[in-house]
Amino acid sequence: MRNIKSRRSFFRYMAVFGLVSFYSSALHAKTAKEIVKYQESPKDGKVCKDCLHFIAETNECRTVAGPINPNGWCSIYYKNPMLKKDTNESNITGTTV
Ligand code: SF4
């Protein structure tokens, strides 16, 4: 009897472990370039190196698979709010440092 119970526990554990593995791997999967219409050139002045998802150290993207050109672009581009403002803007407003 004890042997059956431990076997049930084992299979129950494996079922839960399998489900957790399945869902966690889906969370870390990256999107294919074709799906997000990735291109190797900028679009309307928007480039990967200014995107929130870009990893400059490795030229990778947190959401798109494969090597990423810093001057590329894709449809899920999202401007990194931490980027410094363009230096030309400070010249226009006369607030030079
Ligand atoms: S524009 Fe697209 S491919 Fe480029 S860094 Fe952003 S999300 Fe990744």
Tens digits of residue pLDDT in 37-52: 999 999 999 999 999 9
Flag whether 94 is in a domain: no
Instruction: Tell me, yes or no, whether 39 and 73 share the same domain.
Output: yes
What span, in angstroms and rounded, lies between the C-alpha atoms of 90 and 97? 8
Alpha helices for 1-97 (secondary structure H) = 2-28, 87-93
Instruction: Tell me, yes or no, whether 12 and 40 share the same domain.
Output: no
Domains: count for the chain: 2
41 Cβ neighbours under 8 A, 6+ residues apart: 71, 72, 73
- The pLDDT score that the predictor gives to residue 23 is 60
pTM (two decimals):
0.66
Instruction: Tell me, yes or no, whether 25 and 35 share the same domain.
Output: no
Flag whether 57 is in a domain: yes
- The residue ranking higher by pLDDT, 93 or 88, is 88
- The pLDDT score that the predictor gives to residue 8 is 76
Q: How confident is the model at residue 89 (pLDDT cuts 50, 70, 90)?
A: very low
Mean pLDDT, residues 60-73 taken together: 98
Instruction: Tell me, yes or no, whether 17 and 35 share the same domain.
Output: no
Reading the block at residue 52, the tokens are: 């929130």
Q: Is any atom of ligand 1 closer than 6 Å to the C-beta of 33?
A: no
What size, in residues, is the chain?
97
Which residue has a Cα nearest atom 2 of ligand 1? 74
Flag whether 47 is in a domain: yes
Could you tell me the residue range of the domain that residue 76 belongs to? 31-81
Average predicted confidence (pLDDT) for the chain: 81
Match 């440092």 to its residue by tokens: 97
- State which ligand 1 atom lies nearest to the alpha carbon of 36: 2
Considering the chain, what percentage of its residues have pLDDT values greater than 90? 56
62 Cβ neighbours under 8 A, 6+ residues apart: 30, 53, 54, 55
